[in-house]
Chains A and B, each alone.
Chain A
Amino acid sequence: MPVSRRVIATAAALCFATAAAFAQNPAPRASLRTTNAPPKPTGTTPRTADGHPDLTGVWNGLGDNLNGVPNQIANNGIAIESETLARDLHSGQIVTVFPRLNNRALNNEQAERAAALLRRSGSNRPIYKPEYWDMVKYNDHNANEEDPSNNCMPAGIPRGAIPSYIAQCPSHVMFVYPGQGGLIATQTMYRMIPTDGRKHTPLQELDGTYTGESIAHWEGDTLVVDSLGFNANTWFDQIGGYMHGENMHVVERFKRDGNTLTWTVTVEDPDYLLEPWTSTPRVALLNPNPSAMLPESQPCSERDLAHIVTKEHH
């Protein structure tokens, strides 16, 4: 299967030492998943010459489409553990049990509504200042129009969540987030994050951007990515209408354990949040094919929103 390697070629050119680790062919397509419980790690954690865990790899082992991008959308703190069991990972509580229908039309309709409900049943929510509660609720109710990532714009950070590709170099890490369809309509993002000990630019000197300015350092075996200097044109999670301001400060923690990568994020926003919010950890799975490459993602062109006649959304 011919696969474009443009994105990876770019990343690899910035980090030639890892480029040889990848050959051409993607893994054979796994069967579709019907559960999304966090995967359990297997195998050993490779390390780089400087002793740190090596995060390099194509982290789309859970991918159910060719780009393997559901890192961005999976979970929302809810694990579908079987056809009859879902769990709120934050509280550990079973949150819902629904039977599955066999009538396709009904299933589509009911499943979408059930998904919308279930994905909002998690107990781990950011706490906004009371004066913004109405607006957050409005955002979520009217997400078809209000969601800034529903129209082929970048998902931003931390909504981008776990990158589908990481290249770890001695002086920096390279993150690639393929643009995607599916639940949202976003364009490709990349981040080149220094690990050389440099400090942040003063916030007031930064233009606000979608991924902000990021610097990273190691705390033990955990890569800690610290970002600020954002614009206010993104929401910080997939659901909930979670708007933020230009003073948002994001701290992400990446921990590799064998073939899994656990990501946890803390969002501080002195303008909108009463207190920092820490996500329920998400877990990505390494592509099982050691020769896996990241395919090109399709360009994004949104044509549906003008034809939507109800407020229903995911």
Chain B
Amino acid sequence: MRALLALSLVAVPLLASAHHSIQAQFDIYKTIQVTGTVARMEFINPHSYLTVNVKEADGKVTKWAFEMTGLAGLRRAGLSRADRGGLKAGDALTVIALAARDGSNSGLAQELKMGDGRVFKLLADAPDAPPATSR
């Protein structure tokens, strides 16, 4: 085994890592962008979820499910109640996410670009990631 192994190790679960291995579900080298409107935001265990309605060319609406970082990470990123700067159903947005490896309409959200210009960065789940900020 090479010396690449990193010591973030147990710090990873402490920092709201997935209850499964991230790379077992998501392709950490493949990023996707999905544009639609917020269907709902759920602050739940083991991972919060953002559901997005995506209108296809034929007018049909497809649901996309984006896994989010833990509640603490979401708050650090500025995602809270809608009237405190969070999301509300119907908001237009583009989600940048790690792609699901099984090809399903899902991903691990990395960044949200809102139609009104707000940007939420959700990278706080790794010890070496830059601090999550919102503006």
Contact = CB atoms under 8 A, between A and B. Distances in A.
B52 to A, nearest CB: 14
A73 B11 CA distance: 11
Interface in A40-97: 64-66, 70, 73-74, 76, 78, 80, 83-84, 86, 97
Interface in A178-208: 179-186
Given A111-B8, A298-B45, A182 B21 contact: no
Nearest to B130: A104
B18 interface: yes
Contacts of A110: 4-6
B126 interface: yes
Contacts of B127: 32, 34, 100, 107, 111
A78 B10 contact: yes
B58 interface: no
Interface string B13-36: 111111111111100110000000
A6 interface: no
B72 interface: yes
A298 B8 CA distance: 26
Contacts of A301: 42, 44-45, 49
Give the interface SS of chain A, mostly helix, strand, loop or mixed: loop
Contacts of A307: 25, 100-102, 104, 106
Contact of B16 (A83, A181, A310): A181
B7 interface: yes
A180 B46 contact: yes
B65 interface: yes
A17 interface: no
A305 B47 CA distance: 12
Given A64-B15, A181-B70, A304 B6 contact: no
A144 to B, nearest CB: 6
Interface residues of B, number: 49
A282 to B, nearest CB: 13
Given A303-B65, A304-B20, A182 B46 contact: yes
B3 interface: yes
Contacts of A251: none
A105 interface: yes
Contacts of B23: 108-109, 112, 310, 312
Contact of A104 (B19, B21, B42, B128): B128
Nearest to A144: B20
A-B pairs with lowest CB-CB distance, top 8: A181-B46, A185-B46, A115-B9, A111-B8, A181-B45, A114-B5, A312-B21, A312-B24
Interface of B: 3-25, 28-29, 42-49, 65, 67, 70-72, 75, 100-102, 104, 106, 123, 126-129
Given A65-B16, A99-B7, A104-B128, 12 more contacts: A35-B11, A65-B71, A98-B7, A104-B126, A104-B129, A108-B23, A119-B10, A180-B45, A183-B13, A183-B19, A298-B43, A303-B65
